[in-house]
């Protein structure tokens, strides 16, 4: 798995599989596009809004079961750029996304906003993760893994 920052041209697009539509991502100042690759094949994109540390992901179906690993790479990359926190939103009916956000340690913040999907409105939660919390979680996770390997 690999990530690569890219610049898109005006006719670039990525299919948002959850929504089931093609969204056009136009080149925009202050937006970074991170392309994810799985075994050398395009797997999806992270759209990162630099000014408020928010992001949106669009992963393709062949990444099923590898979402957490791809998400960790994206989070690690974004925190390596010096941002203090990350934020995103997910509708409550997007179980794969909310599960990954929970496993990464994002804090869920309910909002008053809704999302229209298949003719129904679903609540949207905001998710926030600070670098400090992520580092602490990663450190304790690594310590647990080492203890299990050592037989402690």
- DSSP letter for each residue of 25-51: ----TTEEEEEEEETTEEEEEEEEEGG
Please give the average per-residue pLDDT across 20-42, as a whole number. 66
Instruction: Calculate mean pLDDT across residues 86-103.
Output: 91
By CB atoms closer than 10 A (0-12, 13-18, 19+), residue 11 is exposed
Residue 76 — very low, low, confident or very high, per pLDDT cuts 50/70/90?
confident
Is there a contact between 34 and 3 (Cβ–Cβ < 8 Å)?
Answer: yes
> What is this structure's pTM?
0.72
Higher-confidence residue of 98 and 1: namely 98
Structure tokens at 41: 């094949």
Q: Is the pLDDT of residue 104 over 70?
A: yes
Give 132's pLDDT tier (boundaries 50, 70, 90): very high
CB half-sphere exposure, 119, CA atoms < 13 A: 0
| pLDDT of amino acid 8 | 43
């Amino acid at each position: 798995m690999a990530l690569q920052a890219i610049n898109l041209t005006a006719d670039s697009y990525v299919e948002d599989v959850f929504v089931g539509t093609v969204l056009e991502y136009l080149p925009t100042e202050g937006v970074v596009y991170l392309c994810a690759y799985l075994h050398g094949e395009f797997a999806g994109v992270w759209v990162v809004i630099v000014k408020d540390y928010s992001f949106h992901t669009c992963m393709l179906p062949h990444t099923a079961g590898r979402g957490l690993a791809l998400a960790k790479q994206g989070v690690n990359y974004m925190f390596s750029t010096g941002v203090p926190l990350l934020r995103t939103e997910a509708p409550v009916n997007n179980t794969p996304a909310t599960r990954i956000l929970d496993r990464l340690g994002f804090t869920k913040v309910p909002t008053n906003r809704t999302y229209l999907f298949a003719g129904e409105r679903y609540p949207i939660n905001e998710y926030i993760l600070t670098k400090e919390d992520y580092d602490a979680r990663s450190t304790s996770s690594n310590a647990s893994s080492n203890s299990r390997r050592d037989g402690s």
